[in-house]
């Protein structure tokens, strides 16, 4: 069973959560869970992890390991148009790990940096030979008055846009950005401020432009069409098919009512229209030659 198959099973058996538990607004299947407290406050909940050998190399500087662990979770809060408020971290450390204090200090630093101080957590030592593994949980608040932006509310005729540029995030020549990307918090808030209800759906691109656009399509029950020639590629990247599958971009893909925005730049991050939403199913990448590729399979799947 791959990750996507497991996700479908989790989503199916969680479908009754909102009906069975009044505090659950959105359960598994979006960038964050959305819950409501007894006092009526709406909160965003998210947990993410990084594993040595999978998300970072063993020789990665401690500061960049901690940064990525926090930033990945912050990016999901951004994808809901929210703001992070509090964090917790847990780690499984290799036996005799010599950088434990430095790692905890840098996790605390990056949590404060993005406005989500680490207020607790847990530490364990793994068996001999285990890789370093970190998990970061965040609590955030959605945009007021827009509320959380979901994956599932795209509409036929919507324009599909992305922030920044796509591809090459794992380049090993020093140009890769998977350790140093900036979560698009300000862009997500700006979109909510500017477009309000005309901002229909949003997701952060972590597993690949194609696969994550396909998740918006599946959640919304529609078809997403990406025009390859429109996709902004990161410097050093020229193959759109490969770029759409690279993953670890941490840009925002969003669907908006047609004609509500022209080309925009917020805080240095350009926003580019790359496609459309239409009736149907799946996600297509249209090449300059006119060939249609199944984009929903382009990207990472554990």
- Give the mean pLDDT of 29-55: 97
- Give the mean pLDDT of 84-90: 98
- What is the overall mean pLDDT for the chain? 96
8 A C-beta contact, residue 185 and residue 233: no
Interatomic CA distance for residues 58 and 123, integer angstroms: 19
- Give the mean pLDDT of 39-51: 97
Alpha carbon dihedral 113, 106, 208, 235, in 10-degree steps, equals 80
Q: Can you point out the beta strands (E) in the chain?
A: 24-26, 33-36, 42-51, 83-93, 118-125, 133-141, 159-163, 199-204, 223-227, 252-256, 264-266, 269-278, 283-286, 292-294
What percent of the chain has a predicted confidence (pLDDT) above 70? 99
Interatomic CA distance for residues 70 and 214, integer angstroms: 25
Just give the CATH number of 159-297. 3.90.650.10
Per-residue model confidence as pLDDT tens digits over 192-223: 999 999 999 999 999 999 999 999 999 999 99
For the chain, which residues make up each domain, given as ranges?
17-141, 159-297
Per-residue model confidence as pLDDT tens digits over 6-25: 999 999 999 999 999 999 99
Report the number of secondary-structure helices (H) and strands (E) in the chain.
7, 14
Among 145, 6, 138, smallest CA distance to 71 is for 138
Alpha carbon dihedral 256, 189, 34, 18, in 10-degree steps, equals -30
Rama region for 39: left / alpha / beta (φ>0; ψ in -120 to 50; rest):
alpha
Q: Is the predicted pLDDT of residue 60 greater than 90, yes or no?
A: yes
> Would you give the distance in Å from CA 43 to the centre of its chain?
17
Q: Is the dihedral of CA 110, 146, 80, 40 positive or negative?
A: positive
8 A C-beta contact, residue 283 and residue 226: yes
| pTM score | 0.96
8 A C-beta contact, residue 108 and residue 45: no
- Place 264 in a pLDDT band, splitting at 50, 70 and 90: confident
Q: Is the dihedral of CA 129, 180, 207, 43 positive or negative?
A: positive
Tell me, yes or no, if the two domains 17-141 and 159-297 fold the same way. no
Lowest-pLDDT choice from 78-87, 115-124, 169-178, 225-234: 169-178
Residues 6+ apart with CB under 8 A from 121: 88, 89, 90, 91
What percent of the chain has a predicted confidence (pLDDT) above 90? 92
Within 10 A of 33 (CB to CB), how many other CB atoms are there?
Answer: 20
Instruction: Dig out the tokens for 47 from the structure.
Output: 């947990």
Pick the CATH number of 17-141 from 3.40.50.170, 3.20.20.140, 3.40.50.11060, 3.30.1330.10: 3.30.1330.10
- Place 163 in a pLDDT band, splitting at 50, 70 and 90: very high
Please report the pLDDT score of residue 172 as a whole number: 76
- Place 266 in a pLDDT band, splitting at 50, 70 and 90: confident
Higher pLDDT, 62 or 300: 62
Please report the pLDDT score of residue 268 as a whole number: 66
């Amino acid at each position: 069973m791959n990750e996507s198959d497991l996700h479908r099973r989790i989503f199916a058996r969680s479908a009754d959560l909102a009906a069975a538990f009044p505090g659950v607004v959105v359960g598994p299947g979006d960038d964050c869970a959305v819950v409501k407290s007894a006092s009526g406050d709406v909160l965003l909940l998210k947990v993410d992890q990084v594993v040595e050998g999978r998300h970072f190399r063993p020789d990665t500087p401690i500061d960049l390991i901690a940064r990525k662990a926090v930033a990945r979770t912050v990016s999901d809060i951004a994808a809901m148009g929210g703001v992070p408020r509090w964090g917790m971290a847990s780690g499984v450390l290799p036996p005799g790990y010599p950088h434990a204090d430095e790692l905890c200090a840098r996790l605390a630093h990056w949590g404060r940096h993005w406005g989500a101080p680490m207020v607790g957590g847990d530490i364990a030592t793994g068996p001999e030979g285990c890789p370093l593994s970190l998990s970061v949980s965040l609590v955030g608040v959605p945009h007021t008055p827009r509320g959380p932006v979901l994956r599932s509310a795209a509409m036929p005729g919507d324009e599909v846009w992305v922030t920044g540029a796509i591809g090459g995030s794992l380049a090993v020549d020093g140009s890769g950005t998977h350790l140093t990307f900036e979560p698009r918090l300000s862009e997500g808030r700006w979109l909510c401020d500017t477009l309000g209800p005309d901002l229909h759906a949003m997701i952060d691109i972590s597993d690949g432009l194609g696969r994550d656009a396909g998740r918006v399509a599946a959640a919304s029950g529609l078809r997403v069409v990406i025009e390859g020639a429109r996709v902004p590629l990161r410097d050093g990247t020229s193959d759109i098919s490969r770029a759409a599958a690279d993953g670890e971009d941490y840009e925002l893909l969003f669907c908006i009512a047609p004609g509500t925005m022209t080309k925009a730049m917020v805080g240095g991050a350009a926003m580019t229209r790359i496609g459309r939403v239409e009736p149907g199913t799946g996600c297509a990448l249209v090449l300059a030659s006119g060939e249609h590729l199944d984009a929903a399979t382009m990207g990472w799947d554990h």
